[in-house]
């Protein structure tokens, strides 16, 4: 057993220091484009509260260069993944960031509400964010079954529910599909049992195709490829006017409230951002989501891209908050 | 079919595509070698760069990265007992002892060729299976996954020969830790203590880095000297010897590749289980199980073949249904969407040429990375001759930074440090780390698949006996578990005069 001398410590520290410097060198901050004048003066961080590769990640990354083009000064908008806590960590980081306009983030509404409920509001309060806009119009849900399923209409599902609870596959109680299932089944008079634990929407849709459960609720954009390949059958769309021919919508089912079950991708800044900075960001975002390059990407990817009308963000968040309050207790009961 | 393969191959042979393939391969090798980085981080960093490229170049880049990462990870696993990526931890078990005996060159050579062969076998399997990919994904549901996971745990537990009780202990410890975090089946947080980090549970990569790399560095500091011990008995064995070893154990390569291909296709189980399962089953099938963990070359060949075979099959659920089998696949999915290729049932129909081009890129990168590894055997093996006093601080720093870089949380470093200490005591007191790792990986899935099966069947246990595939799985697991006992009985019946020399590998 060698005894370490003082000299060894010096050598060791030197080697460690060199290694640390080399290894951490990649994390050096980027060069800023500082310009004399008002905001923005340096790069803006765009927080994505999830890991790379998800839907929110893609949207944020495509929209960031477009936002850059519509800011008064040439700075970078840098997407940053801050995963953890099911999104809680990133959202908390956004909430606590300095309200100087150099940190913005993308949030899942109503997902953020559920997270706040579940995590006891320990990091953030959704209502207090500075809302900047939406990335694209909120997505409605639809009810679907596997192509091999004996169910062909909502009436069939309701009939089945009189015999036994209908099984829906979904993610977990923190997810939007879970609450969508509870709310819609109550509105449609279906007795529902949820098979939770699936990792993603593709996962639980395939589960329904496989027959783990009877039916599934997912956003229309997620269901469309499956429908087009003939592996699922959409029984109803919860839009107020169905975009899928031959399928009943919320109005036809006599439950207009179904159209309020949406997933919104909203961009926010920390609470207390000054109005002049906020207006610059709001304007840049509005222009960005109408940017021709962004629209071209959406078309290529087969995404239904409909920017919300300017100035509608406050109304949207108000409606969503009210909807959540109304259904909050029913969801947490389950 | 053949013309599609050809189109995919030819589309790769453009200057731009080949350049991106080479770039991806270089990045993959580097990121694979540095612990904590890996395919996921490499892809995540490169994806924004591909914005604006055509899809073939982007896929060549991605294929280059994914094919080369395992080779990079293998190098640090063997030389420094530091798994470059999580699946390479199985390579540490016999690769590092080989390095300690001065046979680092042999290990790297054999591992590199196992890499290449495993990758090729994996590709052939994927190409064969791709047309029926959808049917296969639909055959496996929660009950089947549950049985697969349980089999994995059982097989690994029963191959801790001589140390079964200790293996069970560490396995139980791994299972306990696996349950920390938020459970999305029940919506309940366990032992998270209100902490955002623990919401996601104990991360695999930081704990592996601690358990293998840091623990070994502590061990080295206590021992002193260099990894390969006395410099006099170090033989920097050359390339051809390593290659030859693999061809002498083709059965092991085959077994590893098959396991890798099958396990890789199951989403969520992933590469770590593939490599450890391949290792365990090789130990079990061997005539000399006690030599494992002390430098048996098969202990390097088996996991490395599995790791590379799984790279191809991981694409199956990802491409067929958009269900990523691992974090790396999730990032890859993002890349596909960025380039207008929606993974899902339509992908296999509309983008066939791109898919085949990707598979070719993967294979080419895997094979080329192996060649590069083989070419660099000599200089790489010299690392084992470095003095501990220089090596340890460098490795510890890189390991800690690597652990942090997984998702930029400082808690990862705390986890790594804690597991470093735990790992050191496991080395000192001879407690096997393998069952711990497998339990940590599989624990969460075990519970989730069980609950989902119960929700599907309304609490009826018979669901595991009513489905065809489940019965096949139960029968195969029972067979595998009792195989050693059956063989022992047969050997006794035949008498000692009938034991054949050499035998199957």
Closest residue on chain B to A122 (Cα): B194
pLDDT in tens, B176-219: 999 998 887 888 888 888 788 888 888 888 888 888 889 888 98
**What is the rounded distance in angstroms from the CA atom of residue B450 to the CA atom of residue B443?**
11
Angle between helices A55-69 and B327-338 (to 10 degrees): 50
A44-138+263-333 CATH, one of 3.30.420.280, 3.40.190.150, 3.30.565.10, 3.20.20.140: 3.40.190.150
Quick one: pLDDT at residue B352?
A: 80
Residue A30 has pLDDT above 60, yes or no: no
Q: Average of pLDDT values for B318-327?
A: 78
A144: nearest Cα among A186, A59, A204: A204
Chain B positions touching A78 (Cβ under 8 A) are: none
Residue from the list A85, A172, A206 with its beta carbon closest to the beta carbon of B200: A85
**Nearest-angstrom CA–CA distance, B83 and B80:** 8
Record the tokens describing residue B28, joined without a space: 């993959």
Tell me which of B76, B203, B325, B337 to substitute to probe the interface with A (most A C-beta atoms closer than 10 Å): B337
**Residue A1: per-residue pLDDT:** 45
Nearest CA in chain A to B140: A210
- With b for 16 or more beta-carbon neighbours within 10 A and e for fewer, the A253-289 pattern comes to bebeebbbbbbbbbbbbbbebeeebbebbbbbbbbbb
In order, the DSSP letters of B313-363 are HTHHHHHHHS--SSHHHHHHHHHHHHTT---STTHHHH-HHHHHHHHHHHH
Torsion B252-B257-B262-B265 (CA) sign: positive
The CA distance from A33 to A41, in Å, is 7
Is A333 or A282 the better-scoring residue by pLDDT? A282
User: Do residues B107 and B140 touch, judged by C-beta distance below 8 A?
Assistant: no
Q: What number of other Cβ atoms are within 10 A of residue A93's Cβ?
A: 21
pLDDT of residue A167: 94
Residue B148 scores a pLDDT above 90: no
Please tell me whether the peptide bond between B225 and the residue prior to it is cis, using omega within 30 degrees of 0. no
Domain residue ranges of chain A, discontinuous segments joined by +: 44-138+263-333, 139-260
Query: Residue B44 corresponds to which tokens in the numbers above?
Result: 């995540």
Confidence of residue A104 (pLDDT cuts 50, 70, 90): very high
Could you tell me the residue ranges of all domains in chain B?
A: 2-226+238-495
Low-confidence winner among A34-43, A178-187, B82-91, B128-137 (lowest mean pLDDT): A34-43
Residues 6+ apart with CB under 8 A from A92: A85, A122, A123, A124, B196
* Distance of alpha carbon A15 from alpha carbon B210, whole angstroms: 20
Is the pLDDT assigned to residue A98 strictly greater than 90? yes
Q: A23 and B44 in contact by Cβ < 8 A?
A: no
Residues of B in contact with A87 (CB under 8 A): none
Cα separation, B78 vs B225, whole angstroms: 18
Q: Using 50, 70 and 90 to split pLDDT, how confident is the model at A227?
A: confident
The CB density around residue B231, as the number of other CB atoms within 10 Å, is 11
Q: Residue A52: which of B197, B334, B343 has the nearest Cβ? A: B334
Q: What backbone phi and psi angles, to 5 degrees, belong to B431?
A: -105, 130
Is residue B239 pLDDT above 70, yes or no? no
What DSSP line would sit under B405-464, residue for residue? HTTT-HHHHHHHHHHHHHHHHHHHTT--SHHHHHHHHHHHHHHHHHHHHHHHHTT-TTHH
Give the distance from residue A263's alpha carbon to the nearest chain B alpha carbon, in angstroms. 19
pLDDT at A26: 46
How does pLDDT run across B166-184, given as a tens digit for each residue? 888 888 999 999 999 888 7
Indicate if the pLDDT at residue A209 is higher than 80.
yes
**Contacts of residue A220 in chain B, CB cutoff 8 Å?**
none
The per-residue pLDDT of chain A, averaged, comes to 85
Name the phi and psi angles at B222, rounded to 5: -70, -40
DSSP string, B77-144: HHHHS--SSGGGHHHHHHHHHHHHTT-HHHHHHHHHHHHHHHHHHHHHHHHHHGGGHHHHHHH--HHH
At residue A334 the predicted structure's pLDDT band, cuts being 50, 70 and 90, is low
Q: How confident is the model at residue A215 (pLDDT cuts 50, 70, 90)?
A: very high
- Residue in chain A lying closest to B40 (CA): A52
Mean pLDDT, residues B383-395 = 81
Identify the helix (H) or strand (E) that includes residue A214.
none
- Mutation target to probe the A interface, by most A beta carbons within 10 A, among B37, B41, B182 is B182
Instruction: Compare CB distances from A84 to B48, B223, B409 and report the shortest one's residue.
Output: B409
**Selected residue with higher pLDDT from B67 and B53:** B67
Q: Match 């029963």 to its residue by tokens.
A: B158
| Chain B nearest C-alpha distance from A198 (Å) | 8
Q: Nearest by CB to B199, which of A4, A82, A84?
A: A84
User: What pLDDT is recorded for position A28?
Assistant: 43
Task: Average the pLDDT over each of A13-27, A80-94, B53-67 and give the range with the smallest value.
Answer: A13-27
Choose the weakest-confidence range: A40-49, A83-92, B40-49, B445-454: B40-49
Distance CA B283, CA A183 (A): 53
* Confidence grade of residue B300 (pLDDT, cut at 50, 70, 90): very high
Report the residue from A51, A84, A172 with minimal CB separation from B187.
A172
With a cut of 80, say whether residue B56 has pLDDT above it.
yes
**CB-count exposure of residue B173 (10 Å: 0-12, 13-18, 19+):** middle
Residues 6+ apart with CB under 8 A from A163: none
Q: What secondary structure, in 3-state letters, does B215-283 show?
A: HHHHHHHHHCCECCCCHHHCCCCCHHHHHHHHHHCHHHHHHHHHHHHHHHCCCCCHHHHHHHHHHHHHH
Angstrom distance (rounded) from CA B370 to CA B361: 14
* Chain A neighbors of B47, CB-CB under 8 A: 52-53, 61
Domain A44-138+263-333 matches domain A139-260 at the CATH topology level:
yes
Report the residue of chain B nearest A18, measured CA to CA: B394
Which chain B residues are Cβ-neighbours of A225 within 8 angstroms? 342, 344-346
Q: Which two tokens stand for residue B500?
A: 């054949």
The CATH-assigned architecture of domain A139-260 is 3-Layer(aba) Sandwich (3.40)
Kindly tell me the burial class for residue B219, based on how many C-beta atoms sit within 10 Å of its own C-beta (0-12, 13-18, 19 or more).
Answer: middle
Cα gap B190→B182, rounded to integer Å: 6
Contact by Cβ (8 Å): B37, B31: yes
Count other C-beta atoms under 10 Å from residue B240's C-beta.
Answer: 10
Pick from A13, A173, A297: CB nearest B187? A173
Question: Do B414 and B425 contact (CB within 8 A), yes or no?
Answer: no
**pLDDT reading at B235 higher than 80:** no
A27 interaction partners in chain B (CB closer than 8 Å) = 405
C-alpha distances in Å from residue B421, one per residue of A61, A296, B86, B217, B479: 40, 53, 19, 10, 38
pLDDT for the residue A95: 94
């Amino acid at each position: 057993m060698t005894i370490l001398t003082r000299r060894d410590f010096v050598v060791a520290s030197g080697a460690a220091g060199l290694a640390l410097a080399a290894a951490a060198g990649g994390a050096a901050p980027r060069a800023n484009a500082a310009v004399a004048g008002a905001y923005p003066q340096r790069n803006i961080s765009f927080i994505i509260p999830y890991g790379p590769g998800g839907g929110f990640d893609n949207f944020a990354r495509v929209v960031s260069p477009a936002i850059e083009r519509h800011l008064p000064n040439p700075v970078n908008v840098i997407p940053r993944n801050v995963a953890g806590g099911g999104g809680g960590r990133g959202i908390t980081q956004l909430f606590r960031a300095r309200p100087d306009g150099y940190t913005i983030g993308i949030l899942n509404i109503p997902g953020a509400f559920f997270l706040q409920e579940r995590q006891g509001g320990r990091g953030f309060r959704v209502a207090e964010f500075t809302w900047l806009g939406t990335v694209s119009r909120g997505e409605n849900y639809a009810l679907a079954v596997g192509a091999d399923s004996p169910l062909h209409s909502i009436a069939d599902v309701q009939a089945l529910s009189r015999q036994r609870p209908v099984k829906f596959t979904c993610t977990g109680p923190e997810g939007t599909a879970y609450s969508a299932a509870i709310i819609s089944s109550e509105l449609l008079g279906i007795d529902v049992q949820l098979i939770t634990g699936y990792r993603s929407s593709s996962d639980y849709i395939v589960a329904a195709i496989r027959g783990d459960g009877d039916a599934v609720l997912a956003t229309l954009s997620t269901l469309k490829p499956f429908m087009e390949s003939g592996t699922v059958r959409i029984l109803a769309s919860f839009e107020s006017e169905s975009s899928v021919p031959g399928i009943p919508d919320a109005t036809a089912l006599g439950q207009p409230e179904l159209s309020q079950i949406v997933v919104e991708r909203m961009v926010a800044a920390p609470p207390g951002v000054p109005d002049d900075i906020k207006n610059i960001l709001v304007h840049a975002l509005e222009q960005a989501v109408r940017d021709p390059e962004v629209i071209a990407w959406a078309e290529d990817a087969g995404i239904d891209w409909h920017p919300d009308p300017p100035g509608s963000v406050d109304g949207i968040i108000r409606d969503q908050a009210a909807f959540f309050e109304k259904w909050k207790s029913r969801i947490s009961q389950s | 079919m053949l013309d599609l393969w050809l189109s995919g191959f030819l589309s790769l042979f453009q200057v731009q595509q080949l350049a991106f393939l080479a770039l991806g391969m270089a990045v993959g090798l580097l990121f694979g070698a540095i612990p904590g980085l890996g395919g996921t981080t490499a892809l995540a960093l490169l994806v924004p760069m591909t914005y604006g490229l055509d899809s073939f170049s982007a896929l060549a880049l991605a294929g280059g990265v994914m094919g080369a990462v395992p080779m990079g990870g293998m190098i640090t696993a063997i030389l420094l007992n530091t798994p470059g990526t999580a699946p390479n931890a199985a390579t540490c078990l016999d690769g590092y002892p080989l390095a300690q005996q001065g046979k680092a060159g042999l290990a790297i050579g054999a591992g590199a060729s196992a890499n290449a062969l495993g990758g090729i076998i994996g590709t052939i399997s994927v190409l064969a299976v791709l047309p029926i990919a959808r049917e296969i994904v639909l055959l496996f549901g929660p009950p089947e996954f549950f049985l697969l996971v349980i089999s994995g745990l059982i097989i690994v537990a029963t191959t801790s020969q001589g140390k079964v009780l200790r293996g069970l202990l560490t396995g139980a410890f791994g299972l306990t830790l696996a349950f920390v975090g938020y459970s999305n089946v029940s919506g309940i947080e366990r032992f998270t203590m209100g902490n955002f980090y623990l919401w996601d549970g104990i991360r695999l990569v930081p704990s592996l880095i601690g358990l293998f790399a840091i623990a070994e560095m502590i061990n080295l500091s206590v021992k002193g000297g260099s990894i390969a011990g006395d410099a006099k008995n170090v033989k920097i064995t050359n390339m051809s010897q390593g290659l030859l070893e693999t061809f002498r154990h083709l059965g092991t390569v085959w077994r590893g590749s098959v396991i890798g291909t099958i396990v890789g296709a199951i989403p969520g189980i992933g590469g770590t289980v593939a490599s450890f399962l391949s290792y365990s089953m090789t130990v079990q099938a061997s005539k000399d199980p006690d030599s494992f963990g002390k430098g048996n070359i098969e202990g390097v060949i088996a996991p490395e073949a599995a790791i590379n075979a799984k790279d191809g099959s991981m694409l199956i659920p990802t491409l067929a249904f958009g269900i990523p089998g691992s974090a790396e696949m999730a990032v890859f999915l993002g890349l596909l969407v960025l380039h207008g290729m929606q993974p899902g049932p339509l992908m296999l129909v509309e983008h066939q040429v791109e898919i085949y081009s990707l598979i070719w890129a993967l294979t080419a990168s895997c094979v080329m990375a192996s060649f590069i590894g083989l070419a660099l055997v000599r200089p790489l093996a010299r690392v084992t001759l470095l003095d501990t006093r220089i090596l340890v601080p460098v490795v510890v720093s890189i390991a800690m930074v690597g652990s942090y870089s997984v998702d930029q949380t400082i808690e990862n470093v705390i986890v790594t440090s804690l597991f470093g200490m735990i790992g050191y005591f496991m080395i000192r007191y001879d407690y096997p780390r393998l069952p711990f790792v497998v339990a940590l990986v599989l624990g969460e899935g075990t519970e989730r698949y069980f609950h989902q099966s119960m929700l599907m069947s309304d609490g009826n246990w018979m669901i595991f006996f009513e489905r065809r595939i489940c019965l096949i799985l139960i029968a195969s697991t029972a067979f595998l578990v009792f195989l050693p006992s059956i063989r022992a009985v047969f050997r006794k019946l035949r008498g000692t005069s009938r034991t054949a020399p050499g035998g199957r590998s």
